Structure 1
Amino acid sequence: MSETQQTGSPRTSPGTGTSGAAAAPRVIVVGYSSKPEGRAALARALTEARARNAEVVVVHSSPDSELAGLRAELAASGVPHEIKEAADALDPAEELITTADARAAEFIVIGLRRRSPVGKLLLGSNAQRVLLDAACPVLAVKAETV
């Protein structure tokens, strides 16, 4: 399932000040879940999208019951966006990498959980895979501690 919401004004070509018919929109791909690290990743992706005049593609692994809240938050942000359900919930890293490649993303934003001292020796397998295998840069963010 994929849906797109377009908002804002037409994009302009660098240096021309006019709408560029051939200019591809800038894209940021973000991995989202309703966990604190997923929410932190979405917040950072929206901030980056506003600063760069980019579209956000949200690859989510949230239950259907939480999609209405995600849709409302994205609509309220005013950022052009697309919501894409991770086809394989067991391999969200592959979905993020594939989506970023297909959309020629500027970068991917992922959330990291805080870990215990022993857990810090290992990075989560999905995060590690995205960091190592993505063709574009990856921005890893942590959720704020309460």
Structure 2
Amino acid sequence: MSIETVLLAVGTEDEKRTEQLAKEAIAVAEPAGAEVVLTHVFTDEEFDGVRSKLGVNPESEGSTPDAVAERHTTMRALARALGDAGVAYSIRGAVGDHANEVVEAASAVGADRVVVGGRSRSPTGKAVFGSVAQDVILSAPCPVTFVREVAA
């Protein structure tokens, strides 16, 4: 099975893991000549907060989820790393439930692989707080690569 499109799911909390996520996406995409679709999903609150922090007028053309995602610090760092490695990429933004939007984006772009980051949690922590990565792994339309947070 060839890999043409890799969806890299990026969350607000992934700023610390940017280098780690970029390395994994490059390791999957580069040998296959695949495009990486950087996808940032915001909750409604996160989207409003980031848009406000960036000084984006909610009524302007630059207030779309795609436009806001393109200006997000983590996305710019990932785009720079992919570009430096010669890996083609595009940026998408979405607002809603993180896991559902990642799965929908993977279907929409015809992803052959999803790369998602996450933290190690106890079974009780997962039961109480849920796990976006776990939901993506169970629902994605293609194989998922999980990038676990490395303790600093």
Settle same-fold status: TM greater than 0.5: yes
Deviations 1:10-35 (A, max 9, x none): xxxxxxxxxxxxxx980011111333
Q: Is the aligned partner of 1:27 residue 2:5?
A: yes
TM-score using structure 2 length: 0.65
Change (3 A) 1:58 1:127: same
Highest Rg: 1 or 2?
1
Alignment map for 1:77-88 (pairs within 5 Å):
77-85=85-93, 87-88=94-95
Work out the number of aligned pairs and report it: 121
Identity of aligned residues (%): 31
Distance 1:120 1:98 in 2: 22
Q: Structure 1 residue 52: deviation in Å?
A: 1.8
Distance 2:3 2:141 in 1: 18
Give unpaired runs (5+ residues) of structure 1. 1-23
Change (3 A) 1:39 1:114: farther
Q: Is the aligned partner of 1:48 residue 2:28?
A: yes
Alignment map for 1:1-146 (pairs within 5 Å):
26-33=4-11, 34-37=14-17, 39-61=19-41, 63=50, 64-66=71-73, 67-85=75-93, 87-88=94-95, 90-115=96-121, 118-119=124-125, 124-146=130-152
Q: Structure 1 residue 143: deviation in Å?
A: 2.2
Distance 2:129 2:118 in 1: 9
Distance 2:129 2:114 in 1: 17
Q: Structure 1 residue 120: deviation in Å?
A: 5.9
Q: Which has a greater percent of helix?
A: 2
Secondary structure of 1:60 counterpart: strand
Asked if the contact 1:31–1:42 (Cα under 8 Å) also holds between the matched residues in 2, the reply is: no
- Code of the residue aligned with 2:110 in structure 1: it is A
Give unpaired runs (5+ residues) of structure 2. 43-49, 51-70
Asked if the contact 1:31–1:41 (Cα under 8 Å) also holds between the matched residues in 2, the reply is: no
Asked if the contact 1:39–1:143 (Cα under 8 Å) also holds between the matched residues in 2, the reply is: no
- Code of the residue aligned with 1:29 in structure 2: it is L
Change (3 A) 1:108 1:136: same
TM-score using structure 1 length: 0.67
Please tell me the root mean square deviation across aligned C-alpha atoms, in Å.
Answer: 2.8
